[in-house]
Protein backbone atom coordinates (compact mmCIF):
# COMPACT_ATOMS: atom_id res chain seq x y z
CA UNK A 1 0.00 0.00 0.00
CA UNK A 2 1.30 3.46 -0.88
CA UNK A 3 1.99 5.62 2.15
CA UNK A 4 -0.35 8.59 2.51
CA UNK A 5 0.85 12.17 2.15
CA UNK A 6 1.82 14.00 5.34
CA UNK A 7 3.36 17.31 6.41
CA UNK A 8 7.12 17.79 5.95
CA UNK A 9 7.44 19.14 9.53
CA UNK A 10 6.39 18.33 13.07
CA UNK A 11 5.11 20.75 15.70
CA UNK A 12 7.30 22.03 18.56
CA UNK A 13 5.19 24.83 19.99
CA UNK A 14 1.43 25.32 19.99
CA UNK A 15 -0.91 28.29 20.42
CA UNK A 16 -4.34 27.53 21.89
CA UNK A 17 -7.40 28.76 20.00
CA UNK A 18 -10.93 28.91 21.33
CA UNK A 19 -14.31 28.04 19.88
CA UNK A 20 -17.21 30.35 20.66
CA UNK A 21 -20.98 30.02 20.76
CA UNK A 22 -23.32 31.24 18.08
CA UNK A 23 -24.83 33.72 20.59
CA UNK A 24 -21.41 35.20 21.32
CA UNK A 25 -20.63 35.51 17.64
CA UNK A 26 -23.98 37.17 16.95
CA UNK A 27 -23.17 39.84 19.55
CA UNK A 28 -19.58 40.27 18.33
CA UNK A 29 -20.76 40.70 14.74
CA UNK A 30 -23.14 43.41 15.86
CA UNK A 31 -20.37 45.14 17.86
CA UNK A 32 -18.12 44.93 14.78
CA UNK A 33 -20.80 46.49 12.54
CA UNK A 34 -20.79 43.28 10.48
CA UNK A 35 -17.24 43.99 9.30
CA UNK A 36 -14.89 41.10 10.13
CA UNK A 37 -11.86 43.44 10.08
CA UNK A 38 -13.37 45.00 13.21
CA UNK A 39 -13.46 41.70 15.16
CA UNK A 40 -10.74 41.14 17.70
CA UNK A 41 -8.62 38.08 16.91
CA UNK A 42 -9.76 36.44 20.17
CA UNK A 43 -13.25 36.31 18.71
CA UNK A 44 -12.01 34.21 15.78
CA UNK A 45 -11.67 30.41 15.88
CA UNK A 46 -9.94 29.80 12.53
CA UNK A 47 -8.49 32.89 10.88
CA UNK A 48 -8.39 32.90 7.08
CA UNK A 49 -8.30 36.68 6.75
CA UNK A 50 -4.86 36.68 5.12
CA UNK A 51 -1.69 34.66 4.56
CA UNK A 52 0.37 37.82 5.05
CA UNK A 53 2.67 37.81 8.07
CA UNK A 54 0.64 35.01 9.66
CA UNK A 55 2.97 32.08 8.92
CA UNK A 56 4.72 29.99 11.58
CA UNK A 57 8.50 30.36 11.66
CA UNK A 58 10.63 27.23 11.92
CA UNK A 59 12.99 26.37 14.78
CA UNK A 60 15.88 27.37 12.50
CA UNK A 61 14.29 30.78 11.95
CA UNK A 62 13.77 31.31 15.70
CA UNK A 63 17.39 30.30 16.27
CA UNK A 64 18.52 32.77 13.60
CA UNK A 65 16.54 35.48 15.39
CA UNK A 66 18.77 35.10 18.43
CA UNK A 67 21.85 35.49 16.24
CA UNK A 68 20.68 38.75 14.63
CA UNK A 69 23.19 41.57 14.44
CA UNK A 70 21.58 44.90 15.35
CA UNK A 71 24.45 47.10 14.17
CA UNK A 72 23.17 50.30 12.59
CA UNK A 73 25.55 50.06 9.64
CA UNK A 74 27.07 46.97 8.05
CA UNK A 75 24.99 44.42 10.00
CA UNK A 76 26.15 40.85 9.48
CA UNK A 77 22.47 39.86 9.21
CA UNK A 78 22.10 42.16 6.21
CA UNK A 79 24.95 40.45 4.42
CA UNK A 80 23.48 37.03 5.20
CA UNK A 81 20.16 38.14 3.78
CA UNK A 82 21.75 39.74 0.73
CA UNK A 83 23.77 36.62 -0.02
CA UNK A 84 20.71 34.35 0.12
CA UNK A 85 18.76 36.70 -2.16
CA UNK A 86 21.66 36.90 -4.62
CA UNK A 87 22.01 33.12 -4.61
CA UNK A 88 18.27 32.62 -5.25
CA UNK A 89 17.71 35.39 -7.79
CA UNK A 90 21.05 36.39 -9.27
CA UNK A 91 20.34 40.00 -8.18
CA UNK A 92 23.43 41.66 -6.75
CA UNK A 93 21.86 44.78 -5.21
CA UNK A 94 19.48 44.41 -2.25
CA UNK A 95 17.61 47.01 -0.19
CA UNK A 96 15.61 45.77 2.83
CA UNK A 97 12.30 47.51 3.58
CA UNK A 98 9.73 47.10 6.33
CA UNK A 99 7.23 45.34 4.05
CA UNK A 100 6.23 44.92 0.40
CA UNK A 101 4.46 48.23 -0.06
CA UNK A 102 7.52 50.03 1.33
CA UNK A 103 9.64 48.35 -1.36
CA UNK A 104 7.14 49.69 -3.90
CA UNK A 105 7.26 53.14 -2.34
CA UNK A 106 11.06 53.34 -2.45
CA UNK A 107 11.57 51.87 -5.93
CA UNK A 108 8.62 53.60 -7.59
CA UNK A 109 9.67 56.95 -6.12
CA UNK A 110 12.82 56.54 -8.17
CA UNK A 111 11.21 55.16 -11.34
CA UNK A 112 7.69 56.53 -11.90
CA UNK A 113 6.66 60.01 -12.94
CA UNK A 114 3.25 61.54 -13.74
CA UNK A 115 1.49 60.23 -16.89
CA UNK A 116 3.64 57.05 -17.01
CA UNK A 117 2.04 53.73 -17.88
CA UNK A 118 2.98 50.54 -15.99
CA UNK A 119 1.58 47.46 -17.72
CA UNK A 120 1.29 44.17 -15.84
CA UNK A 121 -0.97 41.32 -14.72
CA UNK A 122 -3.61 42.43 -12.15
CA UNK A 123 -1.50 44.81 -10.06
CA UNK A 124 -1.93 44.17 -6.35
CA UNK A 125 -3.89 46.97 -4.62
CA UNK A 126 -0.88 48.57 -2.88
CA UNK A 127 1.09 48.32 -6.14
CA UNK A 128 -1.73 50.00 -7.98
CA UNK A 129 -1.98 52.58 -5.20
CA UNK A 130 1.72 53.43 -5.46
CA UNK A 131 1.43 53.79 -9.25
CA UNK A 132 -1.80 55.83 -9.22
CA UNK A 133 -0.72 58.12 -6.37
CA UNK A 134 2.12 59.20 -8.67
CA UNK A 135 -0.51 60.08 -11.30
CA UNK A 136 0.56 57.17 -13.49
CA UNK A 137 -1.57 54.36 -14.91
CA UNK A 138 -1.55 50.69 -13.81
CA UNK A 139 -2.59 48.98 -17.05
CA UNK A 140 -3.99 45.49 -16.52
CA UNK A 141 -2.90 43.01 -19.22
CA UNK A 142 -4.00 39.76 -17.53
CA UNK A 143 -5.29 36.92 -19.71
CA UNK A 144 -9.11 36.97 -20.08
CA UNK A 145 -9.36 33.38 -18.77
CA UNK A 146 -8.74 34.75 -15.24
CA UNK A 147 -12.23 36.29 -15.19
CA UNK A 148 -14.06 32.95 -15.62
CA UNK A 149 -13.86 31.23 -12.23
CA UNK A 150 -14.96 27.85 -13.59
CA UNK A 151 -12.37 27.59 -16.36
CA UNK A 152 -9.65 25.06 -15.49
CA UNK A 153 -6.35 26.28 -16.98
CA UNK A 154 -2.92 25.72 -15.44
CA UNK A 155 -1.49 29.27 -15.63
CA UNK A 156 -4.43 31.58 -15.12
CA UNK A 157 -2.17 34.34 -13.78
CA UNK A 158 -0.40 34.90 -17.11
CA UNK A 159 0.14 38.17 -18.90
CA UNK A 160 -1.77 38.41 -22.20
CA UNK A 161 1.17 39.01 -24.54
CA UNK A 162 -0.98 40.68 -27.22
CA UNK A 163 -2.37 43.16 -24.68
CA UNK A 164 1.15 43.83 -23.44
CA UNK A 165 2.54 44.34 -26.93
CA UNK A 166 -0.30 46.75 -27.72
CA UNK A 167 0.32 48.68 -24.49
CA UNK A 168 4.00 49.03 -25.35
CA UNK A 169 3.35 49.98 -28.96
CA UNK A 170 0.94 52.72 -27.87
CA UNK A 171 2.86 54.06 -24.84
CA UNK A 172 6.46 53.06 -25.50
CA UNK A 173 8.07 56.28 -24.30
CA UNK A 174 5.87 56.46 -21.19
CA UNK A 175 6.59 52.96 -19.82
CA UNK A 176 9.19 52.97 -16.99
CA UNK A 177 8.90 49.17 -16.53
CA UNK A 178 6.62 46.16 -16.94
CA UNK A 179 5.52 44.56 -13.66
CA UNK A 180 4.62 40.87 -13.41
CA UNK A 181 3.04 39.61 -10.18
CA UNK A 182 4.04 36.04 -9.27
CA UNK A 183 1.76 34.42 -8.32
CA UNK A 184 -1.09 36.61 -9.51
CA UNK A 185 -2.73 37.36 -6.13
CA UNK A 186 -5.69 39.34 -7.43
CA UNK A 187 -6.64 36.63 -9.95
CA UNK A 188 -6.77 34.07 -7.11
CA UNK A 189 -3.16 33.13 -6.37
CA UNK A 190 -2.89 31.86 -9.93
CA UNK A 191 0.60 31.11 -11.30
CA UNK A 192 2.46 32.55 -14.27
CA UNK A 193 4.28 30.06 -16.51
CA UNK A 194 7.98 30.20 -17.36
CA UNK A 195 7.00 30.40 -21.03
CA UNK A 196 4.90 33.48 -20.27
CA UNK A 197 7.79 35.08 -18.34
CA UNK A 198 10.01 34.37 -21.37
CA UNK A 199 7.45 35.95 -23.69
CA UNK A 200 7.23 39.04 -21.48
CA UNK A 201 11.04 39.30 -21.61
CA UNK A 202 11.05 39.02 -25.39
CA UNK A 203 8.48 41.80 -25.80
CA UNK A 204 10.25 43.94 -23.18
CA UNK A 205 13.56 43.56 -25.04
CA UNK A 206 11.91 44.44 -28.32
CA UNK A 207 10.83 47.78 -26.83
CA UNK A 208 13.95 48.26 -24.69
CA UNK A 209 12.01 48.02 -21.40
CA UNK A 210 12.90 46.57 -18.02
CA UNK A 211 10.82 44.05 -16.09
CA UNK A 212 10.02 43.96 -12.35
CA UNK A 213 8.58 40.91 -10.62
CA UNK A 214 6.23 41.65 -7.73
CA UNK A 215 7.47 38.51 -6.02
CA UNK A 216 5.45 38.01 -2.81
CA UNK A 217 4.70 34.36 -3.75
CA UNK A 218 7.56 33.56 -6.14
CA UNK A 219 8.29 30.21 -4.46
CA UNK A 220 4.68 29.05 -4.83
CA UNK A 221 4.90 30.14 -8.46
CA UNK A 222 8.05 28.03 -8.91
CA UNK A 223 6.20 25.06 -7.38
CA UNK A 224 3.43 25.37 -9.97
CA UNK A 225 5.98 25.59 -12.79
CA UNK A 226 7.62 22.40 -11.50
CA UNK A 227 4.35 20.50 -11.15
CA UNK A 228 2.44 21.85 -14.17
CA UNK A 229 4.82 23.03 -16.90
CA UNK A 230 6.50 20.69 -19.31
CA UNK A 231 10.25 20.32 -18.88
CA UNK A 232 10.43 21.35 -15.20
CA UNK A 233 9.45 18.21 -13.29
CA UNK A 234 13.07 17.24 -12.66
CA UNK A 235 14.34 20.72 -11.78
CA UNK A 236 14.66 21.86 -8.17
CA UNK A 237 12.64 24.83 -6.87
CA UNK A 238 15.89 26.78 -6.49
CA UNK A 239 16.85 26.10 -10.12
CA UNK A 240 13.41 27.20 -11.29
CA UNK A 241 13.55 30.30 -9.08
CA UNK A 242 16.91 31.25 -10.55
CA UNK A 243 15.59 30.78 -14.08
CA UNK A 244 12.48 32.87 -13.36
CA UNK A 245 14.50 35.80 -12.04
CA UNK A 246 16.98 35.54 -14.91
CA UNK A 247 14.08 36.94 -16.97
CA UNK A 248 13.64 40.04 -14.77
CA UNK A 249 15.63 43.19 -14.03
CA UNK A 250 14.50 43.60 -10.46
CA UNK A 251 11.95 42.65 -7.85
CA UNK A 252 9.84 44.01 -5.04
CA UNK A 253 9.08 41.54 -2.28
CA UNK A 254 6.64 41.26 0.57
CA UNK A 255 8.58 38.85 2.78
CA UNK A 256 5.40 38.33 4.86
CA UNK A 257 4.28 35.79 2.28
CA UNK A 258 6.88 33.40 0.85
CA UNK A 259 9.63 34.65 3.20
CA UNK A 260 7.56 33.23 6.10
CA UNK A 261 8.36 36.09 8.46
CA UNK A 262 5.82 38.24 10.27
CA UNK A 263 7.16 41.52 8.90
CA UNK A 264 9.64 42.49 6.20
CA UNK A 265 10.31 43.08 2.54
CA UNK A 266 13.00 44.11 0.08
CA UNK A 267 13.99 45.39 -3.33
CA UNK A 268 16.56 43.50 -5.38
CA UNK A 269 17.98 44.27 -8.81
CA UNK A 270 20.84 43.53 -11.17
CA UNK A 271 21.14 47.18 -12.26
CA UNK A 272 23.39 49.61 -10.44
CA UNK A 273 21.48 52.64 -11.77
CA UNK A 274 18.22 51.39 -10.24
CA UNK A 275 20.02 50.68 -6.98
CA UNK A 276 21.61 54.12 -6.84
CA UNK A 277 18.27 55.80 -7.59
CA UNK A 278 16.36 53.76 -5.00
CA UNK A 279 19.01 54.35 -2.31
CA UNK A 280 18.07 58.03 -2.25
CA UNK A 281 14.54 57.13 -1.16
CA UNK A 282 15.41 54.26 1.15
CA UNK A 283 17.32 56.45 3.58
CA UNK A 284 14.59 59.05 4.23
CA UNK A 285 11.61 56.65 4.03
CA UNK A 286 12.91 53.40 5.53
CA UNK A 287 16.33 53.77 7.11
CA UNK A 288 20.00 53.23 6.41
CA UNK A 289 20.83 50.85 3.55
CA UNK A 290 21.88 47.82 5.59
CA UNK A 291 18.62 47.64 7.57
CA UNK A 292 16.07 49.76 5.67
CA UNK A 293 13.10 49.20 7.97
CA UNK A 294 14.04 45.79 9.38
CA UNK A 295 15.63 44.63 12.63
CA UNK A 296 18.87 42.70 12.25
CA UNK A 297 17.19 39.66 13.81
CA UNK A 298 14.29 39.85 11.34
CA UNK A 299 16.72 39.94 8.41
CA UNK A 300 18.42 36.86 9.87
CA UNK A 301 15.10 35.00 10.18
CA UNK A 302 14.14 36.04 6.66
CA UNK A 303 17.40 34.71 5.22
CA UNK A 304 16.55 31.29 6.67
CA UNK A 305 12.86 31.54 5.66
CA UNK A 306 13.74 32.21 2.02
CA UNK A 307 16.14 29.30 1.96
CA UNK A 308 13.64 26.89 3.56
CA UNK A 309 10.65 27.93 1.49
CA UNK A 310 12.49 27.33 -1.76
CA UNK A 311 12.69 23.63 -0.90
CA UNK A 312 10.12 21.38 -2.56
CA UNK A 313 8.85 19.56 0.52
CA UNK A 314 7.87 22.71 2.37
CA UNK A 315 5.96 24.04 -0.64
CA UNK A 316 4.42 20.64 -1.37
CA UNK A 317 2.97 20.53 2.16
CA UNK A 318 1.57 24.01 1.80
CA UNK A 319 0.03 23.76 -1.66
CA UNK A 320 -1.40 20.28 -0.96
CA UNK A 321 -3.21 21.69 2.09
CA UNK A 322 -4.85 24.39 -0.01
CA UNK A 323 -5.73 21.71 -2.59
CA UNK A 324 -7.16 19.51 0.17
CA UNK A 325 -9.54 22.28 1.20
CA UNK A 326 -10.48 22.67 -2.48
CA UNK A 327 -11.18 18.95 -2.78
CA UNK A 328 -13.63 19.16 0.13
CA UNK A 329 -15.42 22.07 -1.53
CA UNK A 330 -15.58 19.98 -4.73
CA UNK A 331 -17.20 17.18 -2.77
CA UNK A 332 -19.88 19.60 -1.53
CA UNK A 333 -20.34 21.27 -4.92
CA UNK A 334 -19.25 24.71 -3.71
CA UNK A 335 -17.95 26.89 -6.58
CA UNK A 336 -14.56 28.66 -6.31
CA UNK A 337 -11.90 30.12 -8.62
CA UNK A 338 -10.52 27.03 -10.38
CA UNK A 339 -8.03 25.50 -10.18
CA UNK A 340 -7.15 26.15 -6.52
CA UNK A 341 -4.45 28.83 -6.24
CA UNK A 342 -1.34 28.82 -4.11
CA UNK A 343 -2.33 30.68 -0.98
CA UNK A 344 -6.11 30.79 -0.83
CA UNK A 345 -9.44 29.54 -2.07
CA UNK A 346 -11.62 32.24 -3.63
CA UNK A 347 -15.24 31.16 -3.19
CA UNK A 348 -17.56 32.50 -5.89
CA UNK A 349 -20.28 34.13 -3.80
CA UNK A 350 -22.27 35.37 -6.78
CA UNK A 351 -22.83 31.72 -7.80
CA UNK A 352 -23.92 30.74 -4.25
CA UNK A 353 -26.07 33.54 -2.82
CA UNK A 354 -28.03 33.94 -6.03
CA UNK A 355 -31.01 35.40 -4.18
CA UNK A 356 -29.01 38.28 -2.71
CA UNK A 357 -28.96 41.25 -5.11
CA UNK A 358 -25.49 42.59 -5.93
CA UNK A 359 -26.46 45.93 -4.34
CA UNK A 360 -26.62 44.01 -1.05
CA UNK A 361 -23.08 42.59 -1.37
CA UNK A 362 -23.35 38.78 -1.67
CA UNK A 363 -19.67 38.02 -0.88
CA UNK A 364 -19.75 40.17 2.24
CA UNK A 365 -22.98 38.43 3.24
CA UNK A 366 -21.32 35.04 2.77
CA UNK A 367 -18.30 36.21 4.82
CA UNK A 368 -20.65 37.16 7.68
CA UNK A 369 -22.59 33.89 7.43
CA UNK A 370 -19.41 31.81 7.57
CA UNK A 371 -18.23 33.62 10.68
CA UNK A 372 -21.67 33.29 12.27
CA UNK A 373 -21.70 29.56 11.48
CA UNK A 374 -18.34 28.57 12.99
CA UNK A 375 -16.14 31.53 13.89
CA UNK A 376 -14.18 31.14 10.64
CA UNK A 377 -12.98 34.53 9.39
CA UNK A 378 -12.58 34.92 5.65
CA UNK A 379 -12.34 38.15 3.71
CA UNK A 380 -14.51 39.74 1.06
CA UNK A 381 -12.67 40.33 -2.21
CA UNK A 382 -15.62 41.77 -4.03
CA UNK A 383 -17.90 44.74 -4.42
CA UNK A 384 -17.08 46.39 -1.09
CA UNK A 385 -13.34 46.07 -1.71
CA UNK A 386 -13.84 47.41 -5.24
CA UNK A 387 -14.78 50.81 -3.78
CA UNK A 388 -16.68 53.48 -5.70
CA UNK A 389 -15.82 54.91 -9.08
CA UNK A 390 -13.69 58.00 -8.31
CA UNK A 391 -15.73 60.14 -10.72
CA UNK A 392 -19.34 58.91 -10.64
CA UNK A 393 -19.13 57.74 -6.97
CA UNK A 394 -21.22 54.70 -7.96
CA UNK A 395 -20.40 51.27 -6.51
CA UNK A 396 -18.31 49.21 -8.93
CA UNK A 397 -20.11 45.96 -9.71
CA UNK A 398 -18.03 45.05 -12.78
CA UNK A 399 -15.61 42.55 -11.27
CA UNK A 400 -15.88 39.28 -9.38
CA UNK A 401 -17.56 39.01 -5.96
CA UNK A 402 -15.53 36.50 -3.95
CA UNK A 403 -15.01 35.26 -0.42
CA UNK A 404 -11.30 34.62 0.07
CA UNK A 405 -10.16 31.91 2.45
CA UNK A 406 -6.45 32.58 2.83
CA UNK A 407 -4.41 29.79 4.41
CA UNK A 408 -1.58 30.77 6.75
CA UNK A 409 1.69 28.88 6.17
CA UNK A 410 2.44 26.02 8.59
CA UNK A 411 -0.28 27.17 11.04
CA UNK A 412 -3.44 25.08 10.73
CA UNK A 413 -3.87 21.33 10.28
CA UNK A 414 -6.00 19.46 7.77
CA UNK A 415 -8.61 19.05 10.53
CA UNK A 416 -9.00 22.83 10.54
CA UNK A 417 -9.51 22.63 6.77
CA UNK A 418 -12.35 20.17 7.41
CA UNK A 419 -14.00 22.57 9.85
CA UNK A 420 -13.76 25.42 7.33
CA UNK A 421 -15.23 23.25 4.57
CA UNK A 422 -18.11 21.88 6.65
CA UNK A 423 -18.95 25.35 8.01
CA UNK A 424 -19.14 26.61 4.46
CA UNK A 425 -21.21 23.59 3.41
CA UNK A 426 -23.73 24.32 6.17
CA UNK A 427 -24.15 27.86 4.84
CA UNK A 428 -24.24 26.52 1.27
CA UNK A 429 -27.03 24.07 2.16
CA UNK A 430 -29.27 26.92 3.29
CA UNK A 431 -28.21 29.32 0.54
CA UNK A 432 -31.71 29.59 -0.95
CA UNK A 433 -33.10 30.86 2.35
CA UNK A 434 -30.60 33.71 2.35
CA UNK A 435 -32.37 36.39 0.36
CA UNK A 436 -31.14 39.62 1.89
CA UNK A 437 -27.63 40.98 2.31
CA UNK A 438 -26.26 44.10 3.99
CA UNK A 439 -26.33 47.84 3.44
CA UNK A 440 -23.59 50.35 4.10
CA UNK A 441 -24.26 52.65 7.06
CA UNK A 442 -20.91 54.46 6.98
CA UNK A 443 -17.85 54.25 4.75
CA UNK A 444 -14.46 55.95 4.36
CA UNK A 445 -13.81 57.75 1.06
CA UNK A 446 -10.94 55.36 0.15
CA UNK A 447 -10.08 51.73 1.08
CA UNK A 448 -13.48 51.51 2.74
CA UNK A 449 -13.41 47.75 3.39
CA UNK A 450 -11.23 48.03 6.53
CA UNK A 451 -13.60 50.33 8.40
CA UNK A 452 -16.96 50.11 6.64
CA UNK A 453 -20.01 49.87 8.94
CA UNK A 454 -22.80 47.61 7.73
CA UNK A 455 -26.36 46.71 8.68
CA UNK A 456 -28.08 43.43 7.87
CA UNK A 457 -31.24 43.76 5.77
CA UNK A 458 -34.42 41.75 6.12
Ligand X SMILES: *Cc1c(COP(=O)(O)O)cnc(C)c1O
Catalytic residue IDs: 72, 124-125, 214, 216, 257, 449
Q: Is 241 an interacting residue with respect to ligand X (CB under 6 A)?
A: no
With CB under 6 A as the contact rule, which of the stretches 85-93, 94-102, 333-341, 382-390 interacts with ligand X? Answer: 94-102
d(CA 318, CA 412): 10
Residue 183: asked if its preceding bond is cis (omega within 30°), the reply is: yes
- Asked if 105 interacts with ligand X (CB under 6 A), we say no
Report d(CA 96, CA 72) in Å as an integer. Answer: 13
Least distance between ligand X and beta carbon 272 (Å): 25
Nearest CA to 252 out of 207, 208, 200, 217 is that of: 217
User: What percent of the chain is helix, strand and coil (3-state, nearest 5)?
Assistant: 45, 15, 45
For ligand X, the closer of residues 183 and 310 by Cβ is: 183
Under rule CB under 6 A, residue 305 binds ligand X: no
The contacts of residue 306 (CB under 8 Å, 6+ apart) are 84, 85, 88, 255, 258, 259
Pick the stretch among 133-141, 251-259, 348-356, 415-423 that binds ligand X (CB under 6 A): 251-259
Residue 346: CB minimum distance to ligand X, A? 14
192 or 438: CB nearest ligand X: 192
Binding pattern for the stretch 45-84 against ligand X, x by CB under 6 A and - elsewhere: -------x--------------------------------
State yes or no: residue 181 binds ligand X (CB under 6 A).
yes
Position 43 contacts ligand X (CB under 6 A): no
Provide the CA 262 distance to its chain's centre, in angstroms.
Answer: 14
- Name which position in 201, 256, 270, 449 contacts ligand X (CB under 6 A): 256
Q: 35, 61, 254, 350: which one contacts ligand X (CB under 6 A)?
A: 254
Task: Give the separation between CA 218 and CA 159, rounded to whole angstroms.
Answer: 15
Least separation in angstroms between residue 257's CB and ligand X is 6
Q: How far is CA 354 from CA 44, 293, 348, 350, 362, in A?
A: 27, 46, 11, 6, 8
Cα(340)–Cα(49) distance, rounded to whole angstroms?
A: 17
> What distance in Å separates the CA atoms of residue 185 and residue 210, rounded to the nearest whole number?
22
97 sits near ligand X (criterion: CB under 6 A): no
| C-alpha span between 110 and 168 (Å, rounded) | 21
Tell me the C-alpha distance between 157 and 155, whole Å: 5
185 binds ligand X (CB under 6 A): yes
**To the nearest whole angstrom, how small is the minimum distance from the Cβ of residue 309 to ligand X?**
15
Residue 449 as a binder of ligand X (CB under 6 A): the answer is: no
Q: Given candidates 54, 58, 127, 269, which one binds ligand X under the rule CB under 6 A?
A: 127
C-alpha to C-alpha distance for 34 and 26, rounded to whole angstroms: 9
Residues that bind ligand X (CB under 6 A): 52, 99-101, 124, 126-127, 181, 185, 214, 216, 254, 256-257, 265
Amino acid sequence: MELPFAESWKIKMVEPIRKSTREEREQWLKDANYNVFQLSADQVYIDCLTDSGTGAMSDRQWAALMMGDESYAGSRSFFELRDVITRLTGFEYVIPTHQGRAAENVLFSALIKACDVCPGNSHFDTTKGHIESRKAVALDCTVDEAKDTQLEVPFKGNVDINKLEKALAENADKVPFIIVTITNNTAGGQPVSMQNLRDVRRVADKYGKRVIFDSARFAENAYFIKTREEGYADKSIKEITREMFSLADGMTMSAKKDGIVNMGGFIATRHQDWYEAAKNFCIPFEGYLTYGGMNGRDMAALAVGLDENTEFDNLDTRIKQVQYLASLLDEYGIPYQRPAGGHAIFVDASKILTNVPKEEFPAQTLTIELYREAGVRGCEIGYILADRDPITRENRFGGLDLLRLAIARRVYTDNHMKVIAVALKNVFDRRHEITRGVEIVWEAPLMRHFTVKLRPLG
